[in-house]
Amino acid sequence: DIQMTQSPSSVSASVGDRVTITCRASQGISSWLAWYQQKPGKAPKLLIYAASSLQSGVPSRFSGSGSGTDFTLTISSLQPEDFATYYCQQANSFLGVTFGPGTKVDIK
Amino acid sequence: EVQLVQSGAEVKKPGESLRISCKGSGYSFTSYWISWVRQMPGKGLEWMGRIDPSDSYTNYSPSFQGHVTISADKSISTAYLQWSSLKASDTAMYYCARGYSGDAFDIWGQGTMVTVSS
């Protein structure tokens, strides 16, 4: 299976900050990359699919980029409701769907 | 409203069997794969496998192959995850999710908490 890594594992930030999370695949996955937000006690929520496509209803302050092995999720101006854990996911089951270990964004 | 509704929390003993369910509504159930995802307490997300409800074709993660069975009944728009002999290490939250644009999951069930304890 393809291994996914994320950095940082946690980040402390303030409302209004720009936050960038990096995800790396152990081998090339083209653009088969999704990003999710999960809040405590809740199911994950799809933010970005196909590396850079914004899911319907997701605020435009979220953006994704990258292809191949290196990907980035950016929150342009952190809002109070954005404090959560973020996961990247290799989104091609024929390559073996795998999630990154997560990045927790908390209040500075 | 497009949604996946899962069955309720379960408390089981080691060695017991279990089947949990995930019912889709508001969309064509046979048009999208359903995946199952495990989240152990305080841990990350693990993909277990998926099913095409139109023909019940399945793919499993090697980590879960042989330990669980995924099935579906398209006549009632429901997917299932089952165990024949539970272990304490199966204690976790289990989510079903709809596959979209490859295997990005756009709709998630609310989760089913399975607790296995003697």
In the predicted model, is pLDDT for residue A8 greater than 80? yes
Angle in degrees, CA B97, A41, B36, rounded to 5: 20
Cis omega (within 30 of 0) for bond into B62 = no
Contact B45 A96 (CB under 8 A): no
**Quick one: pLDDT at residue A68?**
96
Mean pLDDT per 10-residue segment, chain B (118 residues): 98 98 98 97 96 95 96 98 98 96 91 98
Contact B105 A32 (CB under 8 A): no
Contact B101 A92 (CB under 8 A): no
Tell how far CA A11 is from the center of its chain: 13
Amino acid, res. A32: W
d(CA A79, CA A74): 13
Give the pLDDT confidence of A86-103 residue by residue, as tens digits: 999 999 877 889 999 999
Q: Are A3 and A26 in contact (CB under 8 A)?
A: yes
Q: What six digits make up the tokens of A35?
A: 């990003």
d(CA A32, CA A89): 8
Q: What six digits make up the tokens of B9?
A: 């929390």
Measured CA to CA in angstroms, residue B85 lies from B19, B20, B60, B92 at distances of 11, 14, 18, 15
Give the pLDDT confidence of A22-76 residue by residue, as tens digits: 999 999 999 999 999 999 999 999 999 999 999 999 999 999 999 999 999 999 9
**Quick one: pLDDT at residue B57?**
95
Q: What six digits make up the tokens of B80?
A: 């299932």
Contact B102 A101 (CB under 8 A): no
B59 has a chain A CB within 8 A of its CB:
yes
A64 has a chain B CB within 8 A of its CB:
no
**Quick one: pLDDT at residue B103?**
83
Amino acid, res. A6: Q
| Helix and strand numbers, DSSP H then E, in chain B | 0, 11
Measured CA to CA in angstroms, residue A104 lies from A37, A81, A107, B28, B108 at distances of 10, 13, 10, 35, 20
